[in-house]
Amino acid sequence: MQRIGVFVCHCGTNIAATVDVKAVAEALSHEQGVVISQDYQYMCSESGQDLIKNAVKEHKLTGVVVCSCSPRMHENTFRKAAASAGLNPYLVEIANIREQCSWIHKDIASATDKAIILGKAAVAKVNLNTPLTAGESPVVKRALVIGGGIAGIQTALDIAEAGFDVDIVEKEPTIGGKMAQIDKTFPTLDCAACILTPKMVEAAQNEHITIHSFSEVSAVKGFVGNFTVTIKKKARFVDETKCTGCGLCTEKCPMKKVPNEFNMGLDNRTAVYIPFAQAVPKVATIDPNYCLMLKNGKCGVCSKVCSVGAIDYKQTDKFIEQKYGAIVVATGFNPIKLDKYDEFAYSYCPDVVTSLELERLMNAAGPNGGTLLRPSDKTHPHTIVFVQCVGSRCDDSKGKQYCSKICCMYTAKHAMLIREKYPDTEVYVFYIDVRTPGKNFDEFYRRAVEQYNVHYIKGMVGKVSPKADGKIDVQASDLLSNEQLHINADMVVLATAIEPDKSARPLATMLTTQMDTNDFFTEAHPKLRPVESATAGIFLSGACQGPKDIPETVAQASAAAAKAIGLLCKNSITCNPCVAHSNELMCNGCSACEKVCPYGAITYQDKEFRMPDRTTAIRRVASVNPAVCQGCGACTVACPSGAMDLNGFSNSQIMAEVDAICK
């Protein structure tokens, strides 16, 4: 005979305002097996939990139903409370009467009716719950960081600091990411390279860190604590172990007309190249799309000049397999493509540049050695117009709905740097709003306006038209004075929206993590678990989760590292006991379940069975490996004989819920 306790939470007024909690408690007290039904202000509070603990002991409860917030919120809290009173934690069920009832409905009568029905369904389910014991699975003490920008580097350094081995997988030939391309950082105006490159070197020299540059993750198997990852090391046609990074090959390479990605295509590099002087690892890479030897089989200059014989034209992609306990995603961002923004003349006017291109134009290691010159005629620009929110905060399908967050600040930085270095230059900034929340951010922006006399104009730029004399006509509206403006500019800089890297989507599929509609990774809880994904063992670092500036990225990177370290410190983790199991007496060994199992958790065994006529027979039956099963339940539906069932979500439990709702 079941002895069930029902506890209805008011959640302050969150539930009690739209659901008559006393009526719910009263209605549920008449349900089958219920021996006690109470309501309380805050069930998740210490005294609320004590209520459960005392009731378990006093009434010798065999099941508990808590009508409260979502189980995604407090299921664990109440399970722990029950466990501490000696009740198996899997005999606790939650009826979600907050997120899925009181917050949705305004009418008290219908919300109360619904809450009662949800409570009845939970009671019907808990009547059929069985005690479950969680198994344990070992944790591989090694972490994988996907992406080698500042987020990935910081995460790897922090995990290595705790004494665990970390691998960084970076798809480019060098780590460093976007921060390596940036000239100065806001709001301190310190040099990005000066603070980033020491970290890159530190990562390379750390005995616990292995860097797989020019590599991609191609397959992920397994689960928390025990992932098996296949890493594709793309052929760079240079032996990494031999190359010293002397750069002689890049000097001698005859193919010098390759757009330089690192400088945003503003100058050219050679077919064999090292992305930039401080690259880590400092190893040359041959671009097979341009290399004359790889394309036509004629050249071979680099292999002749290489004194250590590192050039290997026959190199192929290599695949390595490695086991990891935790995975941190740090795939970062990219500026969006501007091909849909013809009004800004970006595609055909070289003097209309994006902000990241301006970073390179102003960088001492950039195409002009740090002197700001117009890309078209290499003259000094005297009037520069900045356009904010290009592709950000767009209602139409052209751009992104979200605010890219960093543009207001870097535009203020650019404007200030230009005014500082070239006081004869007039700088105009067109904005919708200036958003500067952050430590010392608003002070920074005000300095740009007050001290550096940057002309901030509220309004959007309608059209950018290059003129025959090389100047650019910028047509815009000033919303505050309600005037149409024409500015005769020399350069236009577009503060381009940022979007997640293209590699993020296929990676999310491999990792079985969730993404939002913009392809940013979704965190497990927006406030309480911001660096974890909903998939156990996968953590999020940096701009792959949402637009972020450098300090926020570093903070999140360290937070993700802390979470990963917390996992790696454990020798074993408790598994989910809600796994499938097969009733061998009913199983006919048809293999239907094995075919649908995504984890290969089901195997077949020949077992001896005693038949009714006292003879024995050997039959082939399915058996589930509980350590591998993740509990999706695909097999339970595939099974034609009904032998396969899922702990915690059994056929009879779900049917009991259906019955309770339909009654």
For 392, the token pair is 């950000």
For residue 411, give the nearest of 367, 448, 457 by alpha carbon. 448
Among 59, 60, 106, 463, binds other proteins (CB under 8 A): 106
Does position 596 interact with other proteins (CB under 8 A)? The reply is yes
Does position 514 interact with other proteins (CB under 8 A)? The reply is yes
Which span sits near other proteins by CB under 8 A: 102-110, 196-204, 275-283, 435-443? 102-110
Which span sits near other proteins by CB under 8 A: 39-47, 141-149, 194-202, 513-521? 513-521
Whichever of 6 and 418 has its CB closer to other proteins, that residue is 6
- What is the 3-class SS of 200-219, one letter each residue? HHHHHHCCCEEEECCEEEEE
Among 258, 515, 568, 573, binds other proteins (CB under 8 A): 515
Does position 631 interact with other proteins (CB under 8 A)? The reply is yes
Whichever of 227 and 341 has its CB closer to other proteins, that residue is 227
- Site residues (CB under 8 A) for other proteins, limited to 576-595: 578
User: Tokens 């702990």 sit at which residue?
Assistant: 647
Does position 399 interact with other proteins (CB under 8 A)? The reply is no
For residue 508, give the nearest of 148, 516, 195 by alpha carbon. 516
Amino acid making up residue 315: Q
Q: Would you give the binding string for other proteins spanning residues 330-359, x where CB under 8 A is met?
A: ------------------------------
Whichever of 238 and 515 has its CB closer to other proteins, that residue is 515
Whichever of 92 and 293 has its CB closer to other proteins, that residue is 92
Does position 103 interact with other proteins (CB under 8 A)? The reply is yes
Tally of residues, the chain: 663
CA gap 465, 345 in Å, rounded: 7
Amino acid making up residue 138: P
Asked if 203 contacts 157 with a C-beta cutoff of 8 angstroms, the reply is yes
User: Tokens 């992406």 sit at which residue?
Assistant: 147
CA gap 79, 51 in Å, rounded: 13
CA gap 94, 297 in Å, rounded: 68
Does position 657 interact with other proteins (CB under 8 A)? The reply is yes
Does position 546 interact with other proteins (CB under 8 A)? The reply is no
Asked if 135 contacts 575 with a C-beta cutoff of 8 angstroms, the reply is yes
For 341, the token pair is 């923004």
Does position 397 interact with other proteins (CB under 8 A)? The reply is no
Kind plus residue range of the DSSP H or E element containing 71: helix 71-84
Whichever of 415 and 660 has its CB closer to other proteins, that residue is 660
Kind plus residue range of the DSSP H or E element containing 443: helix 441-450
**Under 8 Å CB-to-CB from 421, ≥6 apart: which residues?**
372
Q: Residue count at the site for other proteins (CB under 8 A)?
A: 52
Whichever of 67 and 427 has its CB closer to other proteins, that residue is 67
Asked if 489 contacts 385 with a C-beta cutoff of 8 angstroms, the reply is yes
Phi, psi for residue 325 in degrees, rounded to 5: -90, -30
Among 88, 137, 477, 535, binds other proteins (CB under 8 A): 535
Across 89-208, where does the E strand assignment appear? 92-96, 136-138, 142-146, 165-169
Does position 96 interact with other proteins (CB under 8 A)? The reply is yes
Does position 508 interact with other proteins (CB under 8 A)? The reply is yes
For 293, the token pair is 């030897």
Whichever of 334 and 522 has its CB closer to other proteins, that residue is 522
Which span sits near other proteins by CB under 8 A: 28-36, 113-121, 384-392, 608-616? 113-121
Which span sits near other proteins by CB under 8 A: 95-103, 271-279, 347-355, 490-498? 95-103
Which span sits near other proteins by CB under 8 A: 97-105, 166-174, 305-313, 416-424? 97-105
CA gap 528, 559 in Å, rounded: 12
CA gap 599, 632 in Å, rounded: 10
CB atoms within 10 A of CB 250: 19
For 578, the token pair is 């809600």
Query: Residue 625 Cβ, how far from other proteins at the closest point, in Å?
Result: 16
Query: Residue 131 Cβ, how far from other proteins at the closest point, in Å?
Result: 19
Query: Residue 309 Cβ, how far from other proteins at the closest point, in Å?
Result: 44
- Site residues (CB under 8 A) for other proteins, limited to 430-489: none
Does position 517 interact with other proteins (CB under 8 A)? The reply is yes
Enter the DSSP assignment of 31: S
CB atoms within 10 A of CB 247: 14
Query: Residue 97 Cβ, how far from other proteins at the closest point, in Å?
Result: 10
Does position 649 interact with other proteins (CB under 8 A)? The reply is yes
Enter the DSSP assignment of 191: B
- Site residues (CB under 8 A) for other proteins, limited to 65-84: 70-72
Query: Residue 204 Cβ, how far from other proteins at the closest point, in Å?
Result: 35
Q: Would you give the binding string for other proteins spanning residues 18-57, x where CB under 8 A is met?
A: ----------------------------------------
Among 79, 582, 630, 643, binds other proteins (CB under 8 A): 630
Does position 654 interact with other proteins (CB under 8 A)? The reply is yes
Distance of CA 133 to the CA centre of its chain: 32
Query: Residue 658 Cβ, how far from other proteins at the closest point, in Å?
Result: 5
Query: Residue 308 Cβ, how far from other proteins at the closest point, in Å?
Result: 45
Asked if 62 contacts 4 with a C-beta cutoff of 8 angstroms, the reply is yes
Whichever of 152 and 633 has its CB closer to other proteins, that residue is 633
DSSP labels, 158-174: HHHHTT-EEEEE-SSSS
CA gap 168, 619 in Å, rounded: 49
CA gap 340, 612 in Å, rounded: 75
Among 8, 101, 291, 560, binds other proteins (CB under 8 A): 101
For residue 229, give the nearest of 631, 537, 601 by alpha carbon. 537
Which span sits near other proteins by CB under 8 A: 76-84, 115-123, 418-426, 563-571? 115-123
Does position 598 interact with other proteins (CB under 8 A)? The reply is yes
Residues that bind other proteins (CB under 8 A): 70-72, 96, 98-101, 103-107, 110-111, 113-114, 117-118, 121, 508-509, 512, 514-517, 522, 534-535, 578, 596, 598, 630-634, 636-638, 646, 649, 651, 654-655, 657-659, 661-663
